[in-house]
Amino acid sequence: MSGPDKPKVIGEEWSDERVKGFLAITPYDSRINADFNALIKAYQAMIAEDFERFVGFFVEAGRDINAVDENGETILDLISRHRRSTAYAEILKKAGAKTTAEAGN
């Protein structure tokens, strides 16, 4: 991610270790689902190609691709509302992600 003190880097290569590092991210609040938190942080930080690799590692680790946030929404619910995130939504769908409505929650 970039910010005022951290310029955005275009074309930066992310190693598997760096991508997998997002599996270890823990929420600041124990009421936040750790799997949802890892997914949202990866989505916010990664380009689609790296996010796809992350989702593969995430599923391989036995994590819940349909984890919900404090409002009962899945990551696919959230990302589907973002106009420029269709690639991310497709990655999630291929990995078995569902919206809350599709999951019947």
d(CA 70, CA 16): 30
d(CA 86, CA 79): 8
All residues at 6 or more sequence positions from 6 whose CB lies less than 8 Å from its CB, including other chains: none
**Residue 24: per-residue pLDDT:** 95
**pTM recorded for the entire structure:** 0.85
**Residue 104: per-residue pLDDT:** 72
d(CA 73, CA 99): 7
Domain ranges of the chain: 16-103
Whether the predicted pLDDT of 39 surpasses 70: yes
d(CA 15, CA 50): 9
**Residue 79: per-residue pLDDT:** 95
Sign of CA dihedral 52, 58, 64, 68: negative
Quote the tokens at residue 51. 């996010």
pLDDT digits (tens, 9 = 90+) for 66-92: 999 999 999 999 999 998 999 999 999
Percent of the chain with pLDDT over 70: 89
